[in-house]
Structure 1
Amino acid sequence: MTLLDSAVWGRKFLSDGWRDASLDQPVTEPATGDRLGTVGLATAEDARRAAARAAEAQRTWAATPAAERAAVLRRAGELFTEHAAEIEDWLVREAGSVRSKAAFEVGLAQGECFECAALPTHPQGEVLASEEARWSFARRRPAGVVSVISPFNFPLVLGLRSVAPALALGNAVLLKPDPRTAVSGGVVIARVFEEAGLPSGLLHLLPGDGPVGEAVVEAPEVRVVSFTGSTRVGRAIGERAGRLLKRAHLELGGNNALVVLPGADVRKAASAGAFGSYLHQGQICMTTGRHIVHESLLEEYSAVLAAKAEALPVGDPAREDVALGPIIDRRQLERVHRIVTDSVAAGAKLAAGGEIVGAGYRATVLTGLTPDMPAWREEIFGPVAPVIGFSTPEEAAWLVDDCEYGLSVGVLGDVGAAMKLADRIDSGKIHINEQTVADEPHAPFGGVKASGTGSRFGGAAANVEAFTETQWVTVRPDIADYPF
């Protein structure tokens, strides 16, 4: 039996063991439309029952010695290595990943588990000064039950980066992956932790639709909600969590800028820009969605970028050696094309691409834009590189910040000039002489403005802050004297 044998998970969901689901849906390969299996869907009632069971199991898990919790995380990391080829195949076929992106994602998953294996023994508080004759402490305790709602684009890592630290710190987890990637974003995580020895009842896999999402937010046992997805849905979850006095960690959209400074190496800059815009078909929250190029380099940069775009093959990554795989579904594919054609109709020039190819979209370059055009204003979530010129650092800073999002910015060229520009712009992440797509398990990750509620993932400090509560504890040698 392989790790992901469908005999284990087919038509089932995980909640204190694999349970037969009353609802199911096909697992579909976006490149071909072929059926890869059938995943079980949870109902809202299933989710409510899972929350109650998770709260019960969590109390025992929180009291489990740190070394035992750490061992589960280490074993999970080893399992990602042992079953890397099988998991990569699912990421290629179900999520439309090209092979190199799938391998990168599995490597990140392994690193996430190894990094989180250190959390159980990380310092869990601090000693405080006190005006009284007592010891005073602030200690961190598990939040309790954490709901994780994850997207389709990097389905494995964007679920695991909340699941792994939450479990390591003594919580139980309800995981609701995007139904379009319920295997690579859900079953994989569930099976890895099952094989790693995680006790039953601590991780519940609950694929489902809107009512299931509402249930995993509203269940009274849930104290923290970790959501990665669109800004529209994130606002709704944030509003609901706020009304229920729950913490919501929201990692949302982005329309990220790459600034090319005067004097930059154009060919290297265009290579960075192409990678930032076209990796995983542009379906990444960190994708380079806006290229802001100094006017002295604008024409050359646009031409080199267009040549690179034209050279990138599009197709089925499971059967061909391609640079771009399919867009996740037909609805999103048509949306990408509509934004491009609407921008061209408004006066933009198509320098490369702009075509649907089967289930994919050609790498596209748009020039001659103005900041009010759809391809500049909107998060496209497709392989489209809009290019605009600038003349002064002030104009570059204005173009970067004239956007509702604030997730990631890359600045290419002279380091001193880049540093000065970085101080003027508002973004959760800034990469000098790199493009906008970057992530490491130990580094803080998050955006500002409509991109979310700040850095809530990566590194011990962010993870401890996200998935624990602070408790004040005082200790006296004897019962205190009181005036009553």
Structure 2
Amino acid sequence: MRQLYIDGEWVGSQSSAEIDVVSPVSGEIIDTVPQANGRDVASAVDAARRAQTELEEMTAFERAEVLDEVTDYFEEHEDEIAEGITEEEGKPLHESYEETEYVIESSEDYAHDAIRLFGDVVPSEWRDKFAYTQREPYGPCAVISPWNFPLEIPGGSIYSAIATANPVVFKPPEETPLTAYHIAEAFAQSSLPDGAFNLVTGDGETGASLVANDDIRLIAFTGSSAVGQEIAKTAAERNAQCLLELGGKDPIVVLDDADVEHAANSIVSGSNWNAGQVCCATERVIATEGVHDELVDAIVERTEDLVLGDPFEDGVDVGPMISERIQSKARAHFDDAVERGATVRTGGETDGLFFAPAVLDDVTEEMAVATEETFGPVTPVITASSYEEAIEIANRSPYGLQAAVFTDSLERAHDAANRIKAGGVFINETNNYWERLLPFGGYGESGSGGRYGSKWHLEAMTQVKSVMMNYGGAE
């Protein structure tokens, strides 16, 4: 069985409980990790607290050097990491390589941006006073991440926390905890002070114990909106800072003047990347009447071209879903839509954890597939009578993560970008989209507390201090 990484050492858990890691590819147990208990969590947080001063005393350049060392580890172990992601999570191997390469590139970004996290000189009202701001860490940071991107999602929060002198206690997802051991090993081999990075594995109880610890001053959580809201309530009791990136019901709006071929390609990619198990996946397609029929035919044609199968094989586009629990929700949304009158244009069959990519037409807003996060390879198409109605439908959601609009009109592109309530709006591009230097995060139930990505992430991990110097003496 694996161990925990606490205070610079690999240690056994103080609990005898274990978690079996089951591969969605083979259905077999591929490893076992500890179910860390409250005492383990307390030890890890205490180690982080003790490391705070030493981490803060390092210069930004020295902390950036640590991230460079971590990048070197990832580059050296890229094949092993990518293959491990596919084995424990189920995404096609080429997607796992893209995730690993993205992390290698973004860790370099965090290292470079960390030494450029400037304060501001603020003009004073008085001639003999000099005022400025500086950014400082919150303190020990809990990083709790989901299973769908086991390297990329925690990586950004961990790197930005370390770069800004917030020591980390990392609790990876119970479904895909093995990738976290590469992160821990990378920091173990670096020049990071002992205790500045700690790894505790476990389930929701482990995470709850971590969130409730009074010495945790910053919580970076990515996951469901329901869990994020509970974390925010717990953190509010001691006024700890939260950075929450939560769920989505992201729409793509396709207008009559859109390039149908381009829109269809983007929709199919957005709906089926990682078997639709992405917070910013294309969860709703809203098509105006004039383009609807041609668009749906194109979506169906491209969806049927997707290859469903063993994610380790070349040419496979969609692998198995992570678990029966996640698949059953997508199945329930699909069945509910059909019972309420949606038309199945293709897909929807299941075989074990494999879910054939599906396209549903004649979807209405009374259906769960149109309102709740499905998190599976299902593309529901809603018809709008006009541009105005399409925008209204896009905004009729408690979520607001990302959205996309396909149009040939520059006027409508700008208008839609202004009117759609989401953290990101993309024109003639899939909504299942992110770049290293763009901020990532949402409105409403899709998140709060700041943005992920590059300098935005670094800023979210720091608090601002105002400094004023009176060099004129007493008046």
Q: 2:437 aligns with which of 439, 442, 447?
A: 442
What pairs up with 1:24-103 in 2 under 5 angstroms?
24-103=18-97
* Paired residues for 1:86-125 under 5 Å: 86-125=80-119
Q: Distance in 2 between matches of 1:418 and 1:271?
A: 19
Equivalent-residue separation in structure 2 for 1:418 and 1:136 (angstroms): 42
Matched-pair contact (CA < 8 Å) for 1:317–1:325 = yes
Which residue identity does 1:249 align to in structure 2?
Answer: L
Aligned partner of 1:15: which letter? I
Q: Gaps spanning 5+ residues in structure 1: where? A: 1-9
Counterpart in 1 of 2:168?
A: 173
1:354 aligns with 2:348: yes
For the residue of structure 1 that corresponds to 2:460, the secondary structure is helix
Q: What CA distance in whole angstroms lies between the structure 1 residues aligned with 2:186 and 2:172?
A: 15
Q: Match for residue 201 of structure 2?
A: 207
Partner of 1:6: none
Q: CA deviation at 1:123?
A: 3.9
Where 2:40 maps in the other structure, the secondary structure is helix
Q: Is the 8 A contact 2:143 2:168 kept in 1?
A: yes
Partner of 1:287: 281
Aligned match for 2:157, one of 156, 162, 179: 162
TM-score, normalising length from structure 2? 0.95
The one-letter amino acid paired with 1:470 is V
Q: How do 1:265-304 residues align onto structure 2 when only pairs under 5 Å count?
A: 265-304=259-298
8 Å Cα contact 1:253-1:379 kept in structure 2? yes
CA distance in 2: counterparts of 1:267 and 1:180, whole angstroms = 37
Equivalent pair of 1:120/1:168 in contact (CA under 8 Å) = yes
Deviations 1:96-130 (A, max 9, x none): 11112111111111122101112442143222233
Q: 1:18 aligns with which of 10, 34, 39?
A: 10
1:81-480 matched pairs, under 5 angstroms = 81-131=75-125, 133-184=128-179, 186-319=180-313, 321-416=315-410, 417-453=412-448, 455-460=450-455, 462-477=456-471, 480=474
Asked if the contact 1:428–1:454 (Cα under 8 Å) also holds between the matched residues in 2, the reply is no
Structure 1 residue matching 2:283: 3-state secondary structure: strand
1:44, distance to aligned residue in structure 2 (A): 1.6
Measure the CA separation in 2 of the matches of 1:466 and 1:25. 33
Letter of the 1:86 partner, please give it.
Answer: E
> Residue 4 of structure 1 aligns with which residue?
none
- Unaligned runs of 5+ residues in structure 2 are none
Q: Deviations over 1:224-271 (max 9, x none)?
A: 111100001011011111122111111000010011111222222111
User: How far apart are 1:475 and its partner, in Å?
Assistant: 2.9
Query: C-alpha displacement at 1:319, in angstroms?
Result: 4.6
Deviation at 1:176, TM superposition (A): 0.8
CA distance in 2, matches of 1:47, 1:68: 28
Q: Distance in 1 between matches of 2:301 and 2:25?
A: 25
Distance, in Å, in 2 between the alignment partners of 1:131 and 1:455 is: 30
Q: Say which SS state the counterpart of residue 335 (structure 1) adopts.
A: helix
Of 192-201 and 294-303, deviating more is 192-201
Q: Which amino acid aligns with 2:262?
A: K
Whole-angstrom CA distance in 1 between matches of 2:317 and 2:241: 39
Q: Tell me the CA shift for residue 478 of structure 1.
A: 7.7
Residues 176/476 of structure 1: CA separation in 2 closer, same or farther (3 Å cut): same
| Structure 2 counterpart SS, 1:118 | helix
Equivalent AA in structure 1 for residue 61 of structure 2: A
Say which SS state the counterpart of residue 299 (structure 2) adopts.
helix
Q: What letter matches 2:340 in structure 1?
A: A
Query: What is the aligned-residue RMSD (CA, Å)?
Result: 1.6
Asked if the contact 1:447/1:455 (under 8 Å) is kept, the reply is no
Counterparts in 2 of 1:268 and 1:98: CA distance versus 1, 3 Å: same
Q: 1:331 to 1:122 in 2, by over 3 A?
A: same
Within 2, Cα distance between the matches of 1:420 and 1:466? 29
Deviation track 1:324-345 (CA, whole Å, cap 9, x = no partner) reads: 1111101111221111011101
Q: Report how far residue 24 of structure 1 moved.
A: 2.1
- Rounded to whole Å, the distance in 1 between the matches of 2:322 and 2:170 is 21
Greater CA drift, 272-281 or 110-119: 110-119
Q: Percent identity?
A: 34
Q: Which amino acid aligns with 2:10?
A: W
**Cα 1:455–1:131 shift into 2, 3 Å:** closer
Q: Is the 8 A contact 1:444 1:458 kept in 2?
A: yes
Match of 1:433, as an amino acid?
Answer: N
Structure 1 runs (4+) deviating above 6 angstroms are none
How far apart are 1:455 and its partner, in Å?
Answer: 4.2
The whole-number CA distance in structure 2 between the counterparts of 1:25 and 1:208 is 7
Question: Aligned with 1:258: secondary structure?
Answer: strand
SS of corresponding position for 1:249 = strand
Q: Which amino acid aligns with 1:19?
A: V
1:277-314 Cα shifts (integer Å, max 9, x gaps): 00000000000000111211211211221122222122
Following TM superposition, by how much is the alpha carbon of 1:401 offset from its aligned partner in structure 2, in angstroms?
Answer: 0.3
**In 1: Cα distance, 2:318 partner to 2:107 partner:** 28
Describe the SS at the equivalent of 2:91: coil
What's the offset of the Cα at 1:477?
A: 4.3
Give TM-score, length-normalised by structure 1. 0.94
